Structure 1
Amino acid sequence: MPAHRSRLESSHPTPLLSWQISAGDELQALYADPGPVVEAALHLAESGEWHVGLGVGTVDTPLPGSVNEATGSAFVHAREAVEAAKTSASDTAIRGVEEDLRSQQADALLALLASTRRRRTATAQQAAELADRGMTQQRIADELGIKQSSVSRRLATALWHEERSVREVLVELLREADEVNLVDS
Protein backbone atom coordinates (compact mmCIF):
# COMPACT_ATOMS: atom_id res chain seq x y z
CA MET A 1 0.00 0.00 0.00
CA PRO A 2 2.73 2.55 0.78
CA ALA A 3 4.25 1.86 -2.66
CA HIS A 4 0.94 2.66 -4.39
CA ARG A 5 0.54 5.80 -2.32
CA SER A 6 4.07 6.92 -3.14
CA ARG A 7 3.54 6.33 -6.86
CA LEU A 8 0.25 8.24 -6.80
CA GLU A 9 1.91 11.11 -4.98
CA SER A 10 4.86 11.25 -7.35
CA SER A 11 3.19 10.62 -10.72
CA HIS A 12 -0.20 12.32 -10.42
CA PRO A 13 -1.16 15.94 -9.82
CA THR A 14 -1.45 17.01 -6.21
CA PRO A 15 -4.98 16.56 -4.85
CA LEU A 16 -6.84 19.14 -2.76
CA LEU A 17 -6.45 16.77 0.17
CA SER A 18 -3.52 14.35 -0.09
CA TRP A 19 -3.61 10.58 -0.22
CA GLN A 20 -4.22 9.05 3.18
CA ILE A 21 -4.69 5.54 4.44
CA SER A 22 -8.17 5.12 5.91
CA ALA A 23 -10.05 2.19 7.41
CA GLY A 24 -6.77 0.32 7.70
CA ASP A 25 -6.45 -0.81 4.09
CA GLU A 26 -7.91 1.95 1.93
CA LEU A 27 -6.40 4.89 0.12
CA GLN A 28 -8.40 8.08 -0.15
CA ALA A 29 -7.81 11.54 -1.66
CA LEU A 30 -9.86 14.53 -2.77
CA TYR A 31 -9.45 16.04 -6.22
CA ALA A 32 -11.30 18.99 -7.73
CA ASP A 33 -10.60 17.94 -11.33
CA PRO A 34 -11.83 14.60 -12.71
CA GLY A 35 -8.82 14.19 -15.05
CA PRO A 36 -6.35 13.21 -12.33
CA VAL A 37 -9.09 11.20 -10.59
CA VAL A 38 -9.51 9.00 -13.66
CA GLU A 39 -5.75 8.56 -14.01
CA ALA A 40 -5.36 7.57 -10.36
CA ALA A 41 -8.39 5.25 -10.48
CA LEU A 42 -7.07 3.47 -13.56
CA HIS A 43 -3.61 3.14 -12.04
CA LEU A 44 -5.07 1.49 -8.94
CA ALA A 45 -7.55 -0.65 -10.87
CA GLU A 46 -4.99 -2.03 -13.32
CA SER A 47 -2.84 -3.27 -10.46
CA GLY A 48 -5.60 -5.76 -9.59
CA GLU A 49 -4.98 -5.11 -5.90
CA TRP A 50 -7.69 -2.54 -5.19
CA HIS A 51 -11.43 -2.06 -5.21
CA VAL A 52 -11.72 1.42 -6.68
CA GLY A 53 -14.69 3.58 -5.76
CA LEU A 54 -15.28 7.16 -6.91
CA GLY A 55 -17.86 9.35 -5.22
CA VAL A 56 -19.48 12.29 -6.98
CA GLY A 57 -21.14 14.96 -4.87
CA THR A 58 -20.62 17.83 -2.50
CA VAL A 59 -17.76 18.31 -0.08
CA ASP A 60 -18.36 20.30 3.07
CA THR A 61 -16.25 23.43 3.44
CA PRO A 62 -14.04 24.68 4.81
CA LEU A 63 -11.82 21.75 3.95
CA PRO A 64 -10.15 20.10 6.93
CA GLY A 65 -6.42 19.41 7.04
CA SER A 66 -6.84 15.74 6.15
CA VAL A 67 -9.03 13.81 3.73
CA ASN A 68 -9.90 11.42 6.56
CA GLU A 69 -11.66 14.31 8.32
CA ALA A 70 -13.58 15.54 5.26
CA THR A 71 -17.35 15.17 4.98
CA GLY A 72 -20.09 15.61 2.40
CA SER A 73 -22.15 13.58 -0.04
CA ALA A 74 -19.09 12.86 -2.20
CA PHE A 75 -17.66 10.79 0.66
CA VAL A 76 -20.95 8.96 1.27
CA HIS A 77 -21.11 8.14 -2.45
CA ALA A 78 -17.44 7.08 -2.40
CA ARG A 79 -18.16 4.59 0.41
CA GLU A 80 -21.11 3.22 -1.62
CA ALA A 81 -18.84 2.98 -4.67
CA VAL A 82 -16.14 1.04 -2.83
CA GLU A 83 -18.74 -1.44 -1.61
CA ALA A 84 -20.15 -1.78 -5.15
CA ALA A 85 -16.63 -2.25 -6.55
CA LYS A 86 -16.17 -5.30 -4.32
CA THR A 87 -18.82 -7.14 -6.33
CA SER A 88 -17.91 -5.70 -9.73
CA ALA A 89 -15.97 -7.74 -12.29
CA SER A 90 -13.79 -4.68 -12.95
CA ASP A 91 -13.29 -3.93 -9.21
CA THR A 92 -14.43 -0.35 -9.94
CA ALA A 93 -17.55 1.70 -9.34
CA ILE A 94 -18.73 5.29 -9.46
CA ARG A 95 -21.64 6.49 -7.38
CA GLY A 96 -23.48 9.80 -7.21
CA VAL A 97 -27.10 10.85 -6.93
CA GLU A 98 -29.04 7.69 -7.72
CA GLU A 99 -31.06 9.19 -10.57
CA ASP A 100 -28.02 10.72 -12.29
CA LEU A 101 -27.55 9.01 -15.65
CA ARG A 102 -24.12 10.61 -16.07
CA SER A 103 -22.72 8.86 -13.00
CA GLN A 104 -24.13 5.57 -14.28
CA GLN A 105 -22.56 6.10 -17.70
CA ALA A 106 -19.25 7.10 -16.14
CA ASP A 107 -19.40 3.92 -14.02
CA ALA A 108 -19.74 1.79 -17.18
CA LEU A 109 -16.86 3.56 -18.92
CA LEU A 110 -14.54 3.23 -15.92
CA ALA A 111 -15.31 -0.50 -15.78
CA LEU A 112 -14.51 -0.84 -19.48
CA LEU A 113 -11.24 1.06 -19.19
CA ALA A 114 -10.12 -0.84 -16.09
CA SER A 115 -10.90 -4.17 -17.75
CA THR A 116 -9.08 -3.14 -20.92
CA ARG A 117 -5.98 -2.15 -18.97
CA ARG A 118 -5.92 -5.38 -17.00
CA ARG A 119 -5.90 -7.43 -20.21
CA ARG A 120 -2.80 -5.73 -21.60
CA THR A 121 0.36 -7.70 -22.07
CA ALA A 122 3.36 -6.49 -20.09
CA THR A 123 4.98 -5.09 -23.23
CA ALA A 124 1.81 -3.31 -24.34
CA GLN A 125 1.40 -1.87 -20.84
CA GLN A 126 4.98 -0.62 -20.87
CA ALA A 127 4.49 1.16 -24.22
CA ALA A 128 1.16 2.63 -23.09
CA GLU A 129 2.68 3.99 -19.87
CA LEU A 130 5.41 5.76 -21.83
CA ALA A 131 2.89 7.10 -24.35
CA ASP A 132 0.78 8.38 -21.45
CA ARG A 133 3.82 10.40 -20.35
CA GLY A 134 3.71 12.17 -23.71
CA MET A 135 6.58 10.34 -25.40
CA THR A 136 6.52 9.96 -29.17
CA GLN A 137 6.56 6.48 -30.65
CA GLN A 138 10.14 7.01 -31.82
CA ARG A 139 11.24 8.09 -28.35
CA ILE A 140 9.46 5.07 -26.84
CA ALA A 141 11.25 2.85 -29.35
CA ASP A 142 14.60 4.37 -28.38
CA GLU A 143 13.80 3.97 -24.68
CA LEU A 144 12.82 0.32 -25.08
CA GLY A 145 15.48 -0.54 -27.66
CA ILE A 146 12.93 -1.67 -30.25
CA LYS A 147 11.70 -0.46 -33.64
CA GLN A 148 9.05 2.25 -33.93
CA SER A 149 6.81 -0.20 -35.78
CA SER A 150 6.95 -2.49 -32.72
CA VAL A 151 5.83 0.41 -30.53
CA SER A 152 2.94 1.04 -32.90
CA ARG A 153 1.88 -2.61 -32.66
CA ARG A 154 2.16 -2.57 -28.86
CA LEU A 155 0.00 0.55 -28.61
CA ALA A 156 -2.54 -1.02 -30.97
CA THR A 157 -2.57 -4.19 -28.85
CA ALA A 158 -3.06 -2.04 -25.74
CA LEU A 159 -5.98 -0.23 -27.41
CA TRP A 160 -4.14 2.90 -26.27
CA HIS A 161 -5.64 5.29 -28.83
CA GLU A 162 -9.16 4.07 -28.12
CA GLU A 163 -8.59 4.28 -24.39
CA ARG A 164 -7.44 7.90 -24.70
CA SER A 165 -10.68 8.80 -26.48
CA VAL A 166 -12.85 6.97 -23.96
CA ARG A 167 -10.94 8.57 -21.06
CA GLU A 168 -11.80 12.02 -22.45
CA VAL A 169 -15.48 11.07 -22.53
CA LEU A 170 -15.27 9.68 -18.99
CA VAL A 171 -13.66 12.87 -17.67
CA GLU A 172 -16.36 15.00 -19.32
CA LEU A 173 -19.14 12.78 -17.91
CA LEU A 174 -17.65 13.13 -14.44
CA ARG A 175 -17.53 16.93 -14.84
CA GLU A 176 -21.19 16.94 -15.84
CA ALA A 177 -22.13 14.51 -13.07
CA ASP A 178 -20.34 16.70 -10.56
CA GLU A 179 -22.42 19.70 -11.65
CA VAL A 180 -25.65 17.71 -11.36
CA ASN A 181 -24.66 16.23 -8.00
CA LEU A 182 -23.73 19.64 -6.59
CA VAL A 183 -27.22 20.90 -7.32
CA ASP A 184 -29.12 17.74 -6.31
CA SER A 185 -27.19 16.61 -3.23
Structure 2
Amino acid sequence: MKLRLFAVLLIGCIGLASPGFAAEASPLVGKWKLDAARSSSFKPWDAIDLEIAAKGDALVLTRKLTWTLDRKSEDVITVKPDDTTVTVNPLKYWVDTWFNNAYIGGDHAQHVKGGWLDHGRILKLDINFDLELQQGDYPVHVYREYRLSTDHNTLKVYELRSTRDQPLTFIYTRA
Protein backbone atom coordinates (compact mmCIF):
# COMPACT_ATOMS: atom_id res chain seq x y z
CA MET A 1 0.00 0.00 0.00
CA LYS A 2 2.82 2.41 0.89
CA LEU A 3 4.56 1.61 -2.39
CA ARG A 4 1.41 2.34 -4.38
CA LEU A 5 0.93 5.67 -2.56
CA PHE A 6 4.58 6.56 -3.21
CA ALA A 7 4.18 5.75 -6.93
CA VAL A 8 1.06 7.93 -7.21
CA LEU A 9 2.80 10.85 -5.47
CA LEU A 10 5.89 10.47 -7.66
CA ILE A 11 3.85 10.48 -10.87
CA GLY A 12 1.93 13.53 -9.64
CA CYS A 13 5.16 15.42 -8.88
CA ILE A 14 6.58 14.61 -12.30
CA GLY A 15 3.37 15.84 -13.91
CA LEU A 16 3.51 19.13 -12.01
CA ALA A 17 7.19 19.64 -12.76
CA SER A 18 6.70 19.37 -16.53
CA PRO A 19 3.51 21.25 -17.48
CA GLY A 20 4.43 21.60 -21.16
CA PHE A 21 7.12 22.39 -23.64
CA ALA A 22 8.64 25.81 -22.89
CA ALA A 23 8.59 28.32 -25.74
CA GLU A 24 12.09 29.60 -24.97
CA ALA A 25 13.49 26.06 -25.26
CA SER A 26 11.86 25.38 -28.63
CA PRO A 27 14.21 24.20 -31.38
CA LEU A 28 11.96 26.08 -33.84
CA VAL A 29 13.39 29.39 -32.60
CA GLY A 30 15.57 31.02 -35.24
CA LYS A 31 15.55 32.47 -38.75
CA TRP A 32 14.21 30.50 -41.71
CA LYS A 33 14.30 31.08 -45.48
CA LEU A 34 11.63 29.71 -47.83
CA ASP A 35 12.76 27.14 -50.41
CA ALA A 36 10.50 28.30 -53.26
CA ALA A 37 11.28 25.36 -55.55
CA ARG A 38 9.98 22.83 -53.01
CA SER A 39 7.03 24.90 -51.74
CA SER A 40 3.50 25.65 -52.86
CA SER A 41 3.04 28.76 -54.98
CA PHE A 42 3.03 31.96 -52.94
CA LYS A 43 2.38 34.54 -55.64
CA PRO A 44 2.64 37.49 -55.86
CA TRP A 45 5.48 37.30 -53.34
CA ASP A 46 9.04 36.62 -54.53
CA ALA A 47 10.45 35.56 -51.16
CA ILE A 48 9.32 34.79 -47.62
CA ASP A 49 11.56 34.83 -44.57
CA LEU A 50 10.31 33.49 -41.26
CA GLU A 51 11.64 34.36 -37.83
CA ILE A 52 10.48 32.49 -34.75
CA ALA A 53 11.40 34.10 -31.43
CA ALA A 54 10.58 33.24 -27.83
CA LYS A 55 9.08 35.92 -25.63
CA GLY A 56 8.54 34.46 -22.17
CA ASP A 57 6.07 31.61 -22.51
CA ALA A 58 4.94 32.82 -25.95
CA LEU A 59 6.31 32.51 -29.46
CA VAL A 60 6.41 35.36 -31.97
CA LEU A 61 6.28 34.23 -35.60
CA THR A 62 7.19 36.97 -38.07
CA ARG A 63 6.90 36.38 -41.80
CA LYS A 64 8.65 38.95 -43.99
CA LEU A 65 7.26 38.85 -47.51
CA THR A 66 8.88 40.66 -50.44
CA TRP A 67 7.59 41.36 -53.93
CA THR A 68 10.26 43.13 -55.98
CA LEU A 69 12.58 45.48 -54.15
CA ASP A 70 10.02 48.04 -53.04
CA ARG A 71 7.02 45.92 -52.02
CA LYS A 72 7.32 44.40 -48.58
CA SER A 73 4.94 43.23 -45.91
CA GLU A 74 5.08 41.59 -42.50
CA ASP A 75 2.73 39.17 -40.85
CA VAL A 76 3.25 38.81 -37.09
CA ILE A 77 1.58 36.21 -34.89
CA THR A 78 2.12 35.99 -31.14
CA VAL A 79 0.91 32.74 -29.62
CA LYS A 80 1.08 31.06 -26.23
CA PRO A 81 1.38 27.36 -27.20
CA ASP A 82 -0.53 25.86 -24.27
CA ASP A 83 -3.58 24.52 -26.17
CA THR A 84 -5.94 26.82 -24.25
CA THR A 85 -4.95 30.50 -24.56
CA VAL A 86 -6.33 32.41 -27.53
CA THR A 87 -4.20 35.43 -28.44
CA VAL A 88 -5.63 38.30 -30.45
CA ASN A 89 -3.27 39.65 -33.12
CA PRO A 90 -4.09 42.81 -35.12
CA LEU A 91 -4.61 42.09 -38.83
CA LYS A 92 -4.61 44.88 -41.43
CA TYR A 93 -4.97 42.57 -44.44
CA TRP A 94 -4.51 38.93 -45.33
CA VAL A 95 -1.11 38.73 -47.03
CA ASP A 96 -1.69 35.12 -48.13
CA THR A 97 -4.36 36.01 -50.70
CA TRP A 98 -3.33 39.28 -52.22
CA PHE A 99 -5.54 38.98 -55.31
CA ASN A 100 -8.96 38.25 -53.83
CA ASN A 101 -10.17 41.83 -53.17
CA ALA A 102 -11.42 40.87 -49.73
CA TYR A 103 -10.67 43.01 -46.72
CA ILE A 104 -10.37 42.08 -43.07
CA GLY A 105 -13.73 42.28 -41.35
CA GLY A 106 -15.06 41.67 -37.87
CA ASP A 107 -12.70 42.98 -35.21
CA HIS A 108 -9.75 43.33 -37.68
CA ALA A 109 -7.79 40.70 -35.78
CA GLN A 110 -6.76 37.09 -36.02
CA HIS A 111 -7.50 34.87 -33.04
CA VAL A 112 -4.76 32.28 -32.57
CA LYS A 113 -4.57 29.20 -30.35
CA GLY A 114 -1.42 27.08 -30.38
CA GLY A 115 -0.04 23.90 -28.93
CA TRP A 116 2.73 21.35 -29.20
CA LEU A 117 2.71 17.92 -30.80
CA ASP A 118 5.39 15.21 -30.81
CA HIS A 119 7.19 16.50 -27.68
CA GLY A 120 7.80 20.00 -29.04
CA ARG A 121 8.88 19.06 -32.57
CA ILE A 122 5.59 20.25 -34.11
CA LEU A 123 3.85 23.55 -33.39
CA LYS A 124 0.18 23.65 -34.34
CA LEU A 125 -1.80 26.85 -34.80
CA ASP A 126 -5.55 27.36 -35.14
CA ILE A 127 -6.16 30.80 -36.66
CA ASN A 128 -9.58 32.42 -37.05
CA PHE A 129 -10.56 35.77 -38.54
CA ASP A 130 -13.28 37.35 -40.67
CA LEU A 131 -13.03 38.57 -44.24
CA GLU A 132 -15.26 41.43 -45.33
CA LEU A 133 -16.98 40.53 -48.59
CA GLN A 134 -19.66 42.32 -50.56
CA GLN A 135 -22.24 40.00 -49.00
CA GLY A 136 -20.95 40.60 -45.45
CA ASP A 137 -18.34 39.11 -43.15
CA TYR A 138 -17.13 35.58 -43.92
CA PRO A 139 -15.38 33.52 -41.20
CA VAL A 140 -12.03 31.98 -42.19
CA HIS A 141 -10.23 29.18 -40.35
CA VAL A 142 -6.55 28.36 -41.01
CA TYR A 143 -4.79 25.37 -39.47
CA ARG A 144 -0.97 25.36 -39.63
CA GLU A 145 1.60 22.85 -38.49
CA TYR A 146 5.26 23.81 -38.22
CA ARG A 147 7.12 20.47 -38.41
CA LEU A 148 10.82 20.44 -37.61
CA SER A 149 13.05 17.82 -39.23
CA THR A 150 15.04 15.49 -37.01
CA ASP A 151 18.27 17.31 -37.91
CA HIS A 152 16.61 20.68 -36.98
CA ASN A 153 17.62 22.26 -40.33
CA THR A 154 14.34 21.99 -42.26
CA LEU A 155 10.96 23.36 -41.24
CA LYS A 156 7.88 22.17 -43.15
CA VAL A 157 4.76 24.26 -42.74
CA TYR A 158 1.51 22.53 -43.66
CA GLU A 159 -1.49 24.82 -44.04
CA LEU A 160 -5.16 24.01 -44.41
CA ARG A 161 -7.59 26.84 -45.13
CA SER A 162 -11.35 26.84 -44.97
CA THR A 163 -11.30 28.88 -48.18
CA ARG A 164 -9.65 26.22 -50.38
CA ASP A 165 -9.78 22.49 -50.94
CA GLN A 166 -6.06 21.81 -51.39
CA PRO A 167 -3.51 22.06 -48.55
CA LEU A 168 -0.41 24.22 -48.91
CA THR A 169 3.13 23.16 -48.07
CA PHE A 170 5.97 25.58 -47.41
CA ILE A 171 9.53 24.30 -46.89
CA TYR A 172 12.00 26.49 -44.99
CA THR A 173 15.70 25.99 -44.31
CA ARG A 174 17.70 27.65 -41.54
CA ALA A 175 19.01 31.04 -42.58
Which structure has more RCO (C-alpha within 8 Å, separation ≥ 6)? 1
Larger radius of gyration: 2
The structure with the largest strand share of the pair is: 2
The structure with the largest helix share of the pair is: 1
